Amino acid sequence: MTVEMLGSVPKFGLGTFRLKDQVVTDSVRMALELGYRAIDTAQGYGNEAEIGKVLGESGVPRSDIFITTKIMPPNYGRDRLAPSLRESVQKLGVDAVDLTLIHWPAPRGEVQPEEYLTALAGALEQGLTKQIGVSNFTTTGLKQAREILGDVPIATNQVEIHPFLQNRALVEFARNEGIHLTSYMTLAVGKVMDDEVMKDIAQQHQATPAQVALAWAMAQGHSVIPSSTRRENLESNLKALNLTLTEADMARIATLDRGERIANPSALAPAWD
């Protein structure tokens, strides 16, 4: 499978949140065997070295793989960000990553956006990453990031979006501003599998609720990075790329929004839209 892009970011990739040690090794290996060519990780996941080892042993050319990592808040300082990314690059066994994100805005942290975004742009200039972006940023945060970064493009804002948290204010703002969004937790940690509307739509398409959720997000122009530790689920999720939902399907899913946020760490999260 070639990497289909939305702007400068892959449309579909593998997420590795909460996957460590042999679990992440097996998941990434199986995903690569199935045709996945985009891998999303983070310094805070503690699995970059394992992913790098699998990538090195896979036989897949580096040029065919898109690697995203994220800077964790303890490394936001001007003197720490680029060196920490250099460590990530070394762990991943590459010359540079394709995309680096600020993981959380950390509004109550010691390091302010001016400092960490400028440092991230500096890491881009140093060639440690080919693109930069953000994660968990609100509309206010995106406006501020644009002011700080100036002409340096924000490749994506990676945020929680799923049928039960559709993030409409942010989605509309990003669309109007030409900022790409990557949806994480698109399956709402499995809750889409038990929803009657999602199950009914899936049955009509001879699909799974997970495939429907992924197709729904991609239909809105978002990238998705679902994770799994089971080969059959990794393979099944890929089929969402070939699932086209109807306008009626999209309208039914629109009614499921209940503002149910799953990822909301008190020390790192902003005042959400």
- Residue 18, domain extent: 5-190+217-243
Task: Provide the domain count of the chain.
Answer: 1
Q: Is residue 273 part of a domain?
A: no
- pLDDT of 3 reads 80
The CATH number for 105's domain is 3.20.20.100
Q: Is residue 59 part of a domain?
A: yes
Q: Is residue 199 part of a domain?
A: no
In the predicted model, what is the mean pLDDT of residues 130-152? 98
The answer to whether 103 is a known ligand-binding residue is: yes
Write out the chain in H/E/C secondary structure: CCCCEECCEECECEECCCCCHHHHHHHHHHHHHHCCCEEECCHHHCCHHHHHHHHHHHCCCHHHCEEEEEECHHHCCCCCHHHHHHHHHHHHCCCCECEEEECCCCCCCCCCHHHHHHHHHHHHHCCCECCEEEECCCHHHHHHHHHHHCCCCCCCEEEECECCECCHHHHHHHHHHCCCEEEECCCHHHHHHHCHHHHHHHHHCCCCHHHHHHHHHHHCCCEECCCCCCHHHHHHHHHHHHCCCCHHHHHHHHCCCCCCCCCCCCCCCCCCC
pLDDT at residue 1 greater than cutoff 80: no
pLDDT at residue 166 greater than cutoff 80: yes
Q: Is residue 56 part of a domain?
A: yes
- pLDDT of 2 reads 64
pLDDT digits (tens, 9 = 90+) for 46-71: 999 999 999 999 999 999 999 999 99
Catalytic residue among 45, 76, 116, 184: 45
Q: Is residue 232 part of a domain?
A: yes
pLDDT digits (tens, 9 = 90+) for 174-215: 999 999 999 999 999 999 999 999 999 999 999 999 999 999
Q: Is residue 198 part of a domain?
A: no
Q: Is residue 257 part of a domain?
A: no
Annotated catalytic residue 184: no
Q: Is residue 136 part of a domain?
A: yes
